[in-house]
Structure 1
Amino acid sequence: MVWAAVWLAVLAVVAETAMGGTVTAEQPFNVKPNGRLEFVAVEVGGGTGLACVFEYAAVGGTNEDWLAVAEVGEPGSDGQPSVTCTFARPDTASYLFFNSFAARMVDDDGNVVAASHAELWDNSGMLLEGEAYVLDAAGALEKGPAFDGLVTRVALSRLE
């Protein structure tokens, strides 16, 4: 019963991804409200040599099931395939408060690969804009000065 709900949630997250590519990896993970910095990483696959990494620290509420999804799409103008990394609470709003978060793509050597697009959604499904997040000079996504700690979905893309 629980796994059926998880698979339905996976399908919902995949259907909502910005790129619409082929899902190459999925990794369920459990966010614990212990205030410690934790992370999840998922290999993108598809010959990209990339991994999606999400670091976070959360407090409040109880443990929540989240899902990391990697997608590979058509090659861009640089000949490299587009890649989207999504980290989401697929079935409902999150009741956790995120003290910090960061999302990035890394290559096989651990170097950050610049993302060209990022999106962050709040618990009501609204796309956050402005200073809620920052796509830094290296192409990693971090919380911004106006981030209020509430998030239900984070997406990071390399689109050329």
Structure 2
Amino acid sequence: MAFLLEIEWYVLYVLATTEASSAKTKTVEFNVKPGGVVHTFTEGIDKYECSFTYAAQGGTNEDWLMSVGLSDDDMLFSCSLWRPQGKSYLFFTQFKAELKGTKIKYANAYSQTGHSEMLLKPEEFTIGDSTVTHTDGKFSAQLSKLTVIGQIGHDEL
């Protein structure tokens, strides 16, 4: 339970600090393309980067947003990507989000059915030190939002 409270604190902290400082937050639009080909989209702030690699099938291109943020104290780097219209009509055959320069402290993936956003089941994706990836054979192929927060390690003097 304490771990969940710590994670909730991270989420609230990052949201509060990145929204308060527009100089350390960046939101960009990118196009998710079907066709089964692997694509990567990358955005960053300072020396920290978030890369989203995916392959999808069905439908037509969809506009998605990626938001990256750096907390005012430079201790947390956040990356969120989502489809502004909610539900994606594409079937993701794979996905991976990777943070460069940080160690992941929190990550969650969501799907959307109708007007409801739902967490993916924990077995559908795997959280590593710097990546969040789909789990082969368990991922339902539905993704509408992904949020990742990394803690930045500072070198001691």
Which TM-score tier does this pair reach, normalised by the shorter chain? 0.7 to 0.9
Question: Contact 2:100 / 2:130 at 8 angstroms: preserved in 1?
Answer: no
Question: Contact 1:104 / 1:115 at 8 angstroms: preserved in 2?
Answer: no
Residue identity matched to 1:50: Y
User: 1:148 is matched with which residue: 140, 147, 153?
Assistant: 140
Match of 2:118 in 1: 126
Match of 2:83 in 1: 89
Structure 2 unmatched ranges of 5 or more:
1-10, 153-157
Q: Displaced runs of 4+ in structure 1, greater than 6 A? A: none
Deviations 1:16-45 (A, max 9, x none): x76313252122111111110001111123
| Alignment partners' CA distance in 2, 1:129 and 1:99 | 16
Structure 1 unmatched ranges of 5 or more:
1-16, 108-112
Deviations 1:116-142 (A, max 9, x none): 110101113111232011012x33100
Aligned residues: 131
| Alignment partners' CA distance in 2, 1:66 and 1:53 | 14
Question: Contact 1:117 / 1:159 at 8 angstroms: preserved in 2?
Answer: no
Structure 1 or 2: more helix by fraction: 2
| Alignment partners' CA distance in 2, 1:62 and 1:37 | 15
* TM-score, with length taken from structure 1: 0.75
3-state DSSP class of the match of 1:151?
A: coil
* TM-score, with length taken from structure 2: 0.76
RMSD of aligned residue pairs (Cα, Å): 1.8
3-state DSSP class of the match of 1:33?
A: coil
Identity of aligned residues (%): 28
3-state DSSP class of the match of 2:52?
A: strand
User: 2:51 is matched with which residue: 36, 50, 53?
Assistant: 53
